[in-house]
Structures are given as structure tokens and as C-alpha cells.
Amino acid sequence: MRLLIVAAAFAGLSSALPTQECCTLLSQLYPTKVYAPDVTAYSTANKRYWSSTCSLKPSCFFEPNTVPEVSAAVKLFSQNNCKFSVTAGGHSTIPGAANNDRGVTVAMVNFQQREIDNSTNIMHLGPGNRFYQAYAEMDKYNKVGVLGRYAQVGTGLLLGAGLSYLNNQEGLGVDNVKAYEVVLANGTVVTASRTSNSDLFKAMKGGGDNFGVVTRYDLQLYDRPATVLGGLITYGEAGMATLEDLTYDYHANVAPNDQQTHVLPNWGYNAATGLREAFVPVFYNKDVSVLPPSLKGWADAPTVKNTVRRTNSISALALENNEGYGNGLVQEQRTFTVYANKQFFHDVNALYLEWSKKYQHIEGFYTLHCNMPITPHAVAEGIRKGGNSLGLAGSKNQTLSVLYFGLSFKNLADTAAVFPAHDEFVESVKKIASDRGILHKYIMWNYSAYNQKVIEGYGPESVAFLKRVSKKYDPTGGFLRLVGGQKLPE
């Protein structure tokens, strides 16, 4: 049964529509922008995905340059029931979310706008940018936005959640979007903001690609000092003993009280060497040369390498974080959320290591575990900035921890052996959290697997709201029927 589910996810949507015809119609409109499987541009587009599970077999790729082109295409898809996908950075690991088999895939790669208004602190960002390019532009102004932390990740994150250097102070990535320019299912282009289509605006902050195609993000930026302190600290086995306690302290005490800090603990297990390593991006948004007492423990633990330095370049930090995460391997991510809990942090880490050791025979097998805080203040910032659809409001006054379980390996052929077992493992630790009374219902979209019910996790009130908004802006359910990935519940 489980194996069948995996197979279905790889096949994209189950009921194939006559999309070869959709590609033909589209290429009549834009002959130079529609790529069939036999041209180089098609294979280039199909290799832009981080996970090899997402390089599928669409009938064609379409690479528009303008908003009217996106509008005409989406209208054509709706009118002809064409299965389609939209890809920006291609970093989701859900097969069928941003690509498909026998459909049309719209690659937003040409939407490269990066425009900063120095006086209003608003950035107009095209969906074709990766975060490296966005940060590089912001660096010129000593400004920073609430984006992802990895250079290669793309703008889809700003529809899902958005863990970032500035979360503790400013809330999630979605909370710092000021407006989305959106192509609706019937091709109409609207702006969604606090003052225009405000229901759509709130829905899209977490509701993802269920409502339209984003052609521009308007982002709130923040002035930052000329230099900040940041870098990557790497630990070997000798450092391990202290890291879980430091992680808990960061969640419970540092993140809530010292909001200019950001720490992202990653535990990796490399089956090829049989070794554990931890690498931890550390960031302090102040013009100082030494870490504050609240972060000192990270540098004092036995380290293998520590690159924390004064820097004027956040793009360089994003690039450094990204090292070793190239395209082309099989990737899978799973996640759930708990109230931060020291004992649980220890237990989960030990259990994941034990589980991972069983797969040393899988070529290139590597697992990664992280715990990432969402503080009560971050939740409150989301509400203050207009609200989102994530269902975090009403959580207890304690820091939440988003737990990440990521695995990668070389060959697609091994997915059948590994993915169902990974699912089973993550559900088993989720059950422990539930038994201990620390489980929270939230499942962060951007770390979710294909069969995790993200939107249900936002709670019934949010689900009902999202359904109303979908009915209003997409009355015939084009995005629900024709686009794969995480969908609104039936």
C-alpha cells in the first residue's frame, strides 16, 4: 500500500489530461518559449530541481517573460483543463509540486526583478530569483529581508512559511510580504495586500500555490548595521554532547529574549564515513566583533571549524550555508512541530541516529536533523502584520520547535526501500511527542513530505477560511484540480 502511494506521487496527478495539445496551443502563442523534450532548454529546465525525485517528464516547459504571458497561459490551462505546475527555485522535495508527468511546467526563471526602494524599504522581487541574488541586492543597501537562509532556495518559500535570520524579531517570511502580484485561474491579474484583496493576501501567507501564480513579491526590508556577525560553526563527535542543551537554551531563552540572534543547529550523519557532524549557522544582527553571552556557548564547545566573523555580506553567509547541497541527489524532507523540550530534543536525535545507521548500505546515504524555533513573539508579529493562514495563533506562550528530518542518497531506485521506512520512523517519534503532551498540530509546508497533511494541520478554522477564499478567487477550482503538490483538503 505504502509503495503504491510513493509510485502515485512520482506519477504526479493520477488522471492525465491531453496536455500534448496544451503544449501545442501554448507554442502557437509563444513559439520560442515552449520547450519540448528533445531540446536542450528542456533538459536544462528539468535539472533546476534540488531533488532528483522532482525531475519528471512534463510534455513541455514554458518559460514566460512577462505577466501578460503568464496570464494568457493560465487562462489557456483553465479553459482546456491542462494539468500544469509552476516552478520558481525548484527546492521543494515533493515530486509533482513544481513539475509533473505529461503536463505543462511553467518555469518562472525569467522573472528576475530585484528593485529596492531605499526610502520605503520595500523590495520588488521577481519569483525567478534565488535568495542569493535577493540578499546580494539588499547588501548594497545594508538592508535585509525575511527570506530563507540558503542561497539556492527560491521564492516559493514566501508562500509556505519562511524560517530566516530575522524570525525572532520580525516573524516568518510570509509575515513580511507586503503584497503578492497574482495571476488568478481565469487569467486576471490582481494585487493581494492588506488593502487590496486582503482575504487572498492572508490566505496566500501559508496557503501556497493553491490560489494563483505569483509574478511579483513586494517585501518588507529592514535596515541593518554596516556589518553583522555571522558564519558557520562545525562540530565533530567531541562537540556533540553539549549541542542539544544549547539548542534547547536557544529555543527557550535566547530566541525569545535576544531577538537579534539566529542559530540553526544541523546534525548530519554520513553513512559513507559512519560519522556524525554538526554544522550550525550562527548570526547576530549587530555591529560587534564578538558573540554576545547568549551565543557564546556555541563557540566554546569543542569545534572543528568556526567561520563566525564580522561581515557586510549576508549573501556570503547564505552561500556558505548552502555548501554541499547541490542538485541531483534524491532528497526527502519530513517535519512536525513540538513545544520546545530538552529531553525530547535529546531522544529524537538519538533515535534518528539509530534509525539512520540501518541504511549504511544505501549509496550516498545521509540524514540531517534540525530543530528550529518559532517564538511567541514571532507568532505575535505574524498577527500584528495582518495575519497568516498557518493556524499558529492561540498556541501556548512557549517557543515552538519545528523538527526537520531530511535524507538524501544517490539512486532513485532506493526510494522504495527508504521512503516508507522514513515515513514510519518520523510518525513513530511524532507519536512519542504526542504521548508526552508536547505535540503541536503545525506541519511546516516547506519541510513537508508529499503525504503529510499540511493544510489540515492549520486547523479547521483556517481550512474553512482557505476554502472560502479559493471559491471566491478560483470558483471552478482550477488550481485545486490542475496543479499537484500540497492541496486544500476536499
Ligand X SMILES: *[C@@H]1O[C@H](CO)[C@@H](O)[C@H](O)[C@H]1NC(C)=O
Residues at the site binding ligand X, with contacts judged by CB under 6 A = 91-92, 97-98, 118, 140-141, 153, 156-157, 159-160, 184, 186, 188, 208-209, 376, 397, 445-446, 473, 475
The alpha carbon of residue 142 and the mean position of all alpha carbons in its chain are separated, in whole angstroms, by 25
* Residue 317 or 390 with smaller CB distance to ligand X: 390
* Residue 202 or 276 with smaller CB distance to ligand X: 202
Letter string b/e over residues 336-375, b meaning 16 or more CB atoms within 10 A of that residue's CB: bbbbbbeebbebbbeebeebbeebeebeebbbbbbbbbbb
- Least Cβ distance, residue 486 to ligand X (angstroms): 7
- Least Cβ distance, residue 58 to ligand X (angstroms): 16
φ and ψ at 219, to 5 degrees? -115, 145
- Least Cβ distance, residue 473 to ligand X (angstroms): 5
- Least Cβ distance, residue 237 to ligand X (angstroms): 30
* Residue 206 or 268 with smaller CB distance to ligand X: 206
Q: Is 296 exposed, middle or buried (0-12, 13-18, 19+ CB in 10 A)?
A: exposed
* Residue 158 or 301 with smaller CB distance to ligand X: 158
**Which residues lie closer than 8 Å to 84 by C-beta, 6 or more apart?**
19, 22, 74, 77, 100, 103, 104, 105, 106, 482, 483
DSSP string of 383-424? HHTT--SS--TT--SS-EEEEEEEEEES-GGGHHHHHHHHHH
- Least Cβ distance, residue 431 to ligand X (angstroms): 25
Biggest CA pair distance of the chain: 63
Residue nearest to ligand X (CB): 156
* Residue 208 or 231 with smaller CB distance to ligand X: 208
The whole-angstrom separation of Cα 337 and Cα 405 is: 11
| Angle between helical axes of 237-249 and 342-356 (0-180°, round to 10) | 140
* Residue 256 or 268 with smaller CB distance to ligand X: 256
- Least Cβ distance, residue 209 to ligand X (angstroms): 5
- Least Cβ distance, residue 98 to ligand X (angstroms): 5
Sign, Cα dihedral of 18, 187, 213, 64: positive
Beta bridge partners of 439: 338
- Least Cβ distance, residue 273 to ligand X (angstroms): 28
* Residue 81 or 242 with smaller CB distance to ligand X: 81
* Residue 108 or 166 with smaller CB distance to ligand X: 108
* Residue 210 or 367 with smaller CB distance to ligand X: 210
CA angle 173, 445, 17 (to 5 degrees): 120
Sign, Cα dihedral of 115, 317, 364, 93: negative
- Least Cβ distance, residue 306 to ligand X (angstroms): 28
If we measure between CA atoms, which residue out of 483, 482, 473, 478 comes closest to residue 201? 473
- Least Cβ distance, residue 169 to ligand X (angstroms): 16
* Residue 98 or 316 with smaller CB distance to ligand X: 98
If we measure between CA atoms, which residue out of 191, 161, 157, 202 comes closest to residue 466? 202
**Which residues lie closer than 8 Å to 327 by C-beta, 6 or more apart?**
47, 48, 49, 50, 52
Helices (H), 81-148: 131-139
